[in-house]
Amino acid sequence: MDTTQYLYRNVIFSKKGKTISLIDIDKPEIQGQELEPWFGVVLQLADGKHSVEDLFNFLSGQYSGNAPSNLKETVLSVVERLAESKLIVLTDKPTELPYYLSAPYEFLDIEKAKNLLKKHRANVN
């Protein structure tokens, strides 16, 4: 994997405490898929402004002392799996996230997010 690539999330997520879940903005009352902790961490940090290498460096700095020896392999595996499932996207350049992907659901202006997502969907189709 090219660790100089940037990563950005491609889904709306909810953050309640340390739990990260996928959420349907049109049906937020339905419990979204809860992500495994590592997947949740990587998804919420996939902001389009940082590379895979930046992500690894940030995560390794979260450990007092030495990071686990398998941290890089774990991070790369999680990134690959999230990219394969299209929850994140890898790109060669930084990417500005649209408003509706910029923060957890709980911090969004929901009407604004829905309107922008509706416009996006209309442009894609």
- Domain locations along the chain: 6-124
- Please, which pLDDT band fits residue 50 given cuts at 50, 70 and 90? very high
Contact 37, 46 (CB under 8 A): no
Residue 55 has pLDDT above 80, yes or no: yes
Residue 125 has pLDDT above 80, yes or no: no
Give all strands of the β-sheet with 88-91 in edge-to-edge order. 47-51, 6-9, 88-91
Distance of CA 89 to the CA centre of its chain: 9
Closest CA relative to residue 75, chosen from 97, 90, 59, 96: 59
CATH code of domain 6-124: 3.90.930.60
Cα separation, 94 vs 49, in Å, equals 5
Using one digit for the tens of pLDDT, what is the confidence trace for 20-42? 999 999 998 887 899 999 999 99
Contact 97, 116 (CB under 8 A): no
pLDDT at 30: 85
Length of the chain: 125
Using one digit for the tens of pLDDT, what is the confidence trace for 76-120? 999 999 999 999 999 999 999 999 999 999 999 999 999 999 999
Cα separation, 16 vs 93, in Å, equals 30
